[in-house]
Amino acid sequence: MLRKILYLLVFILTLTFINPVKSLAQKTIDDVPQVVIKTFNKKFPRAEDVAWEKVDTVYKADCFFNGRGTYAEFAPDGSWQMTITDLDLKTLYRPIQEYLDENFKKDNILFAEQAIKADRQDYYYVQLERKDPETKEYFTIELFFDKTGRIEQVKMPEGVNDMTIVGFDDPNSEIPEVVIDSWQKRFPRSEDIDWTKKGKNFQASFTYREQPTTAEFKPDGIWVEARTKLNEKELHRLIQVYLIEHHKGDDFVTAEKVTRADRKDYFYVKMQRQVRGETRPYNFELFFDRAGQIQKVNRPEELRNQYLLTVDIPDQVARKFKSRFAGATDVTWQTDNNTFVGSFTYRDQPTTAIFSDSAQWIQTTNQLDVKNLYNPVQRYIDENYGNYNPTYAEKVTRMDRDNYYYVELIAKKKNLEPHKVVLYFDSAGRIKAD
């Protein structure tokens, strides 16, 4: 990709020298098509010291934008093609800074740029200065990095091309472009990226919105899942209640929110219990659905006899379940302490139901079709969250009659904050605090 860019630059420079009057002539604002000016003003509001020039059919603008030197290219129809921005040398993209520290620590950084292109073939450019120990003369080194900060090309003066450059010819560093594009589109402005292989897939570890995150992609760029690290206070309210009731005194180890392409999202929590006389702590792995309901518990082998972990349930619970959910299919059971949780399909909708050990029904959660929400709920979303789409919804029916609706919304635009909204409604469809 970069080789093509360099060939294009050489071609443009050749045309410049052949016809300097045409290519270097400074363009006034009146010489630039209004459709180009309109796109420029929209993309670079309040830009300063704007200067235009035209090379063949491409309109180029040099300016100061947000306090930095900026260069942009536009087609005659006004479509934006590329932006190159001067970078602060003190705050370079961390993967690039680490590469320079490890391989070019003694060289002087002259300048650095970031190129963002309409075709998404983004890259970074760094120019270094080095003093030849023999001739005492200075020469420049040009480094090109891909959008993730991986070294992609090095240009050196003739005679020093035999220098060893770290980062090339490493088969493990080859991440398909379609995978990188998919990652950048889903997780813009991420930091500290590191790629590894996971079987045939590719896994990225990075920081996204100040939270440690991992994401898995197939070789064709299709996203599989993302795992976001959470602390205790960031967990779903119902999960926090569960931990207080069932793991009071245990140590919190880690938690993740797992978002999957198949929409089978869940929360993972790991707890540890210190037991007197035991050399190792007991580990508990807890799995909750996206609504915060416990689905599965992995306990230490030593404690398994203290819990009912089989699919067998008391006869009275089975009878109560069959009478309440006749025709349910794909039924599985989980149990913890004095409750039994059934997961099943009922009337073509994923459903969970909780019963006490005395066969008393406690709660039912029905997953709803987001395209067919309760009218008052849909009306409220249309009036107050028109820029969001519902992605998940549940109706929770409780023994204490404190029934409610739970709805998750995702912003239609990437730059809209908050990107995700969770709403709770009472049984009449009125908004309530979560």
pLDDT at residue 274 is higher than 90: no
Shared domain check, 82 and 10: yes
**Residues of the domain holding 418:** 375-432
Residue 189 has a pLDDT of 82
What is the SS3 assignment for 268?
A: strand
Shared domain check, 192 and 168: no
- Distance between CA 186 and CA 307 in Å, rounded? 41
Question: Phi/psi at 16 (nearest 5 deg)?
Answer: -60, -45
Nearest CA to 206 among 219, 220, 187? Answer: 187
pLDDT at residue 386 is higher than 90: yes
Domain assignment present for 370: no
Task: Tell me how far CA of residue 395 lies from CA of 37, 235, 274, 291, 410, in angstroms.
Answer: 51, 20, 38, 10, 19
Domain assignment present for 255: no
Sign of the CA dihedral running 377, 378, 383, 389: positive
Residue 306 has a pLDDT of 47
- Distance between CA 13 and CA 261 in Å, rounded? 46
Residue 11 has a pLDDT of 47
Is the separation of the CB atoms in 85 and 72 below 8 Å? no
pLDDT at residue 307 is higher than 80: no
pLDDT at residue 310 is higher than 80: no
In the predicted model, what is the mean pLDDT of residues 364-376?
93
Alpha helices in 55-151 (DSSP H): 94-103
- Distance between CA 405 and CA 432 in Å, rounded? 10
Q: How many domains does the chain have?
A: 4
Predicted confidence band of residue 21 (pLDDT cuts 50, 70, 90): very low
Q: What percent of the chain has pLDDT over 70?
A: 86
Final residue in a domain of this structure, among 86, 105, 136: 86
- Find where tokens 């939270």 sit: 211
Of the given ranges (65-79, 136-150, 290-304), which has the lowest mean pLDDT? 290-304
Domain assignment present for 312: no
Mean of the per-residue pLDDT values for the chain? 85
| Burial group, residue 203, by CB count within 10 angstroms (0-12, 13-18, 19+) | middle
Say if residue 418 is preceded by a cis peptide, omega within 30 of 0: yes
- Count of residues making up the chain: 434
Domain assignment present for 320: no
Domain assignment present for 145: yes
Residue 198 has a pLDDT of 86
Final residue in a domain of this structure, among 59, 86, 113: 86
Question: With a threshold of 0.75, does the pTM exceed it?
Answer: no
Residue 20 has a pLDDT of 40
pLDDT at residue 36 is higher than 70: yes
Q: Is residue 283 within a helix (H) or strand (E), and if so which, with residue range? A: strand 282-289
What is the SS3 assignment for 304?
A: helix
Shared domain check, 14 and 76: yes
Domain assignment present for 253: no
Shared domain check, 68 and 139: no
Shared domain check, 186 and 124: no
Residue 277 has a pLDDT of 72
Sign of the CA dihedral running 105, 108, 114, 120: negative
Q: Name, in order, each residue with C-beta under 8 angstroms of 22's C-beta and a sequence gap of 6 or more.
A: 54
- Distance between CA 202 and CA 318 in Å, rounded? 44
Final residue in a domain of this structure, among 143, 173, 203: 173
Domain assignment present for 348: no
Is the separation of the CB atoms in 269 and 258 below 8 Å? no
Nearest CA to 163 among 173, 171, 154, 172? Answer: 154
Shared domain check, 167 and 102: yes
pLDDT at residue 162 is higher than 90: no
What is the per-residue pLDDT across 43-83, written as a single tens digit (0 to 9) for each?
999 999 999 999 889 999 999 999 899 999 999 999 999 99
What is the token pair recorded at 75?
Answer: 């087609």
In one letter, which amino acid is 52?
Answer: W
Sign of the CA dihedral running 157, 162, 163, 166: positive
Residue 25 has a pLDDT of 44
For the domain that residue 185 is a member of, what is the CATH number?
3.10.450.360
Alpha helices in 223-294 (DSSP H): 237-246
Domain assignment present for 365: no
